Amino acid sequence: MLPEKFMLPNDLIPDCRDQGKFDICVAMALTAVLQIIYYKKTGKREQFSPTWGAVMWRKDVDGQKNMASLVPDSAIPAMIEAGAVFTKDLPELMENPEAYEYVMARPELKDKAIRLVDGFEKINYGSREAEVEAIKTALYENMLPIVATVKEKKSGHFVPIIGWDDAKELFYVMNSWGDKGGAKGHDSYKYKDLKSGYLIKPTAEEKEEVKSMRILLMPGHGGGDPGAIGFGYEEADLAREVVTLLAERLKCSTSIEVDVFDFNKNPYKYLKNNAFDFTEYDYVFEVHLNACVDDEKGDGKTTGTEILVHTTEVSTGVEEAILKHICALGFKNRGVKKVSYLQNMNICKGKQGVSYALLETCFIDDLDDMELLAIKKKEVVEAIVDGLCEGFGIEKKEVVNVDKFTDIKGHWAEDIINQAAEEGVVNGREDGTFGPDEPITRAEAVAMIMRAREK
């Protein structure tokens, strides 16, 4: 379900640019999207020259000038075919009379054209209401600006959509009128002023570029430190349960190589006194649970989930994807937050340059959070897997669940336990056993009841 209000993360919003008096909004919007596609691929914010796109489109079949106004349906394919060059390689001559001659006189620019796009989808579903929803969905799922034609007083205009607000019935856009369009180039248009939208698709090569990677999973606290406590649970135990399930799912449903930090050690205490080489990994993911809301009775809403990354982290696309999938289960999205006060993060990312994320799964002292986690723990783990695969462009394999308990063969309740595990009512233990004849705690009984109620 889409949120009522949404804005792309700041690092996925194009730079403020000014088209001046020239009628070149289409090229400005398209090159703005190319900037973000390139940024997500490389981590570098490079502007692409709208002049290149405009000139490449305005050639007719005989190579002659065609200075008619840009039209999205024909400009987008032309830019896809021609690629794009950086502004540093080609100044923003826009529609100056010399622009066409300037580009044509530099055939070497064709060798510098970067092809980041392999297609586009025109989002047109008949009614404006359906089209608005389709554009919002495309924006939210792809985490890329959606370019669209909107109505102006005397004509149409072309802009990248970067967010929305249902209460105000507004699309937020990055205009091409510099600061005149609003703060830092941000502006807005009413839903009713929408004409049509376009999703620009990155090349298949970009999507499949990362084929395998190595991740280190770290559970917070432990080694005598329980972490936060709430409703009979200890943070250290829950973090280790999530990490165990996550490691299992990543290993069987992705190509990701997974290592798990020693469960017998407290990562904070260990790294405080011992050296550790994080450079063996592409990504480090530490799992915690938040606290300090003291909502023992529940107020009918979750306090939610957030992810912390280092202030030097260039892109947060992976973390945004993880939060998107987790929060689709009902947790409030508290966002990705850049900080610099965490020891493990500073060692991993600050000193060794390895991307690190700390997941605050939910609030251990919020009844609503813990009831939801109790019945959807496996779904939360699957959501993390989905977010990692989406963020890193890794294909997820469909895997049929099989019984993992090693101590129920021949037990009178074997079939019942297997069925309960298949339906997500029971999880078993970290060592792969179930303990069918051992008593359960009150907290375990409550968790099973809550899971069963959800089914």
Boundary (domain end) residue, out of 343, 360, 392: 392
100 domain residue, yes or no: yes
pTM to 2 decimal places:
0.50
Per-residue pLDDT at 443: 61
Same domain, 113 and 130: yes
251 domain residue, yes or no: yes
φ, ψ for residue 48, nearest 5 deg: -105, 145
Task: Give me the number of domains the chain comprises.
Answer: 3
Same domain, 26 and 147: yes
Smallest CA-to-CA distance from 17 within 236, 140, 176 is with 176
DSSP 3-state assignment of 359? strand
Same domain, 201 and 219: no
Boundary (domain end) residue, out of 206, 231, 246: 206
Same domain, 165 and 224: no
pLDDT tens digits for range 243-269:
999 999 999 889 899 999 999 999 999
Same domain, 198 and 221: no
For residue 82, name the pLDDT band (cuts at 50, 70, 90). Answer: confident
Between helices 25-42 and 72-82, what is the axis angle to 10°? 40
Same domain, 113 and 162: yes
38 domain residue, yes or no: yes
> Cα(78)–Cα(96) distance, rounded to whole angstroms?
20
Same domain, 262 and 185: no
Long-range contacts of 254-258, Cβ-Cβ distance < 8 Å, separation of 24 or more? 254/385, 254/388, 254/389, 254/394, 254/395, 254/396, 254/397, 255/211, 255/212, 255/394, 255/395, 256/212, 256/213, 256/214, 256/215, 256/388, 256/394, 257/212, 257/213, 257/214, 257/215, 258/214, 258/215, 258/217
The CATH number linked to 48 is 3.90.70.10
Are β-strands 5-7 and 333-339 bridged in parallel, bridged antiparallel, or unpaired? Answer: unpaired
398 domain residue, yes or no: no
> Cα(34)–Cα(40) distance, rounded to whole angstroms?
10
Same domain, 29 and 142: yes
Same domain, 317 and 423: no
Tell me which DSSP letter residue 217 carries.
E
Its sign, for the CA torsion 387, 389, 390, 393, is: positive
405 domain residue, yes or no: no
15 domain residue, yes or no: yes
In the predicted structure, residue 403 carries a pLDDT above the cut 60: no
Overall average pLDDT of the 229-248 stretch:
96
Same domain, 426 and 387: no
Smallest CA-to-CA distance from 359 within 315, 401, 325, 396 is with 325
Q: Which domain holds residue 441?
A: 414-454
For residue 70, name the pLDDT band (cuts at 50, 70, 90). Answer: low
Report which of residues 63 and 343 the model is more confident about: 343
> Cα(370)–Cα(362) distance, rounded to whole angstroms?
8
Overall average pLDDT of the 120-149 stretch:
87
The CATH number linked to 235 is 3.40.630.40
404 domain residue, yes or no: no
Per-residue pLDDT at 123: 85
pLDDT tens digits for range 321-336:
999 999 999 999 999 9
Same domain, 245 and 360: yes
Same domain, 149 and 229: no
Per-residue pLDDT at 444: 67
218 domain residue, yes or no: yes
DSSP 3-state assignment of 170? strand
Per-residue pLDDT at 210: 43
Per-residue pLDDT at 240: 97
Overall average pLDDT of the 215-221 stretch:
97
CA dihedral 23, 25, 31, 33 (to 10 degrees): -170
CB 264 within 8 A of CB 249: no
